[in-house]
């Protein structure tokens, strides 16, 4: 039986028959691959540990007709603590769902794996606000997948972005539109919002989760990034709808604004 050696993160798992689990593993070399973890439904099963969501392992896999089968493994990082905080778990789940939907079976995607790993490490070490980490992951992923939004010029007239009031992000057009072309005196984006979005797209991946923003900019980036991501994905995200429910509950909590 042919064998391969890969590193990968479990981005989806489901029961398979009485005893096994079917995993979707995101690897740098081969994109998403389907792996069967024999006996993993039982806690005591030999392959139960590496079959957990988020778990990042190095695997030796046997290639079967339909699946790969775990032969040997070494856990590199379990990311177990991500489950301890509902906000962290919610936004980490948004990141996994997006990674699943933007990756292609069998196609190399080292950049995506690095972006996801740095994000999960930042969440685990509490180096980042989970909401901001998920926004960053979304925009960077969409941008790196070939849909980089235009943030330097007006998409209609070509005028360079000048930090004036009244610039808007038009997701259906793919970026910024200037106040003249918008023909409205609605206030539009703060310069810090455009700067934050540029940072998310351009910063080296090691640093991309390490920045902070004001509450106003935190509120302003939400709509452009989400609409732009969902539009380019072509369908709504389940985990994102759940994250929004959690955010709305938090907004309604008295004394938490
Ligand atoms: Zn214009």
CB-facing half-sphere around the CA of 125: CA atoms within 13 A: 9
Q: Element (H or E) spanning 183, and its range? A: none
Task: Give 159 Cα–ligand 1 centroid separation in angstroms.
Answer: 6
Task: Give 197 Cα–ligand 1 centroid separation in angstroms.
Answer: 19
Region 139-165: mean pLDDT is: 95
Task: Give 224 Cα–ligand 1 centroid separation in angstroms.
Answer: 18
Q: What is the pLDDT of residues 55-107, one digit of tens each?
A: 999 999 999 998 999 999 999 999 999 999 999 999 999 999 999 988 888 88
Task: Give 161 Cα–ligand 1 centroid separation in angstroms.
Answer: 9
Q: What is the pLDDT of residues 179-220, one digit of tens each?
A: 999 987 778 999 999 999 999 999 999 999 999 999 999 999
**Residue 257 — very low, low, confident or very high, per pLDDT cuts 50/70/90?**
very low
**Residue 1 — very low, low, confident or very high, per pLDDT cuts 50/70/90?**
low
Alpha carbons 94 and 114: distance in angstroms, whole number = 16
Task: Give 153 Cα–ligand 1 centroid separation in angstroms.
Answer: 8
Task: Give 222 Cα–ligand 1 centroid separation in angstroms.
Answer: 23
**Residue 256 — very low, low, confident or very high, per pLDDT cuts 50/70/90?**
very low
User: Which residues lie across from 21 on neighbouring strands?
Assistant: 15, 37
**Residue 241 — very low, low, confident or very high, per pLDDT cuts 50/70/90?**
confident
Task: Give 181 Cα–ligand 1 centroid separation in angstroms.
Answer: 4
Average pLDDT, the chain: 91
Residue ranges and CATH numbers for the domains of the chain are 3-78 (2.40.50.140), 81-252 (1.20.1440.120)
Q: What is the pLDDT of residues 40-68, one digit of tens each?
A: 999 889 999 999 999 999 999 999 998 99
- pTM score, whole prediction: 0.91
Percent of the chain whose predicted confidence (pLDDT) is above 90: 77
Task: Give 191 Cα–ligand 1 centroid separation in angstroms.
Answer: 16
Task: Give 190 Cα–ligand 1 centroid separation in angstroms.
Answer: 17
**pLDDT value of position 252:** 57
Q: Please tell me which residue, 165 or 254, carries the higher pLDDT value.
A: 165
**pLDDT value of position 255:** 46
Q: Please tell me which residue, 8 or 254, carries the higher pLDDT value.
A: 8
Which among 236, 139, 249, 254 has a CA at the least distance from the CA of 194? 139
- Exposed, middle or buried, 71 (CB in 10 Å: 0-12/13-18/19+)? middle
């Amino acid at each position: 039986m042919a064998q391969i050696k890969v590193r990968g993160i479990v981005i989806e798992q489901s029961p398979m028959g009485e005893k096994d689990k079917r995993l979707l593993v995101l690897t740098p070399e081969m994109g998403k691959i389907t792996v069967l973890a024999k006996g993993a439904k039982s806690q005591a099963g030999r392959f139960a540990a590496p079959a957990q969501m988020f778990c990042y392992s190095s695997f030796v896999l046997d290639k079967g007709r339909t699946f790969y089968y775990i032969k040997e493994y070494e856990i590199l990082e379990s990311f177990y603590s991500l489950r301890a905080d509902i906000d962290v778990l919610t936004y980490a789940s948004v990141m996994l769902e997006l990674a699943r939907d933007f990756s292609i079976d069998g196609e190399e995607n080292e950049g995506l794996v690095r972006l996801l790993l740095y994000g999960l490490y930042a969440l685990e070490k509490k180096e980042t606000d989970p909401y901001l980490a998920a926004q960053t992951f979304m925009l960077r992923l969409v941008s790196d997948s070939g849909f980089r939004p235009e943030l330097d010029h007006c998409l209609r007239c070509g005028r360079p972005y000048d930090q004036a009031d009244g610039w808007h992000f038009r997701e259906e057009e793919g970026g910024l539109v200037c106040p003249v072309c918008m023909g409205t005196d609605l206030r539009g984006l703060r310069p810090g919002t455009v700067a934050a979005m540029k940072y998310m797209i351009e910063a080296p991946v090691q640093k991309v989760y390490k920045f902070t923003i004001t509450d106003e900019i935190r509120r302003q980036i939400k709509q452009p990034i989400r609409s732009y991501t969902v539009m380019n994905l072509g369908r709504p995200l389940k985990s994102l709808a759940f994250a929004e429910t959690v955010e709305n509950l938090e907004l309604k909590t008295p004394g938490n604004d």
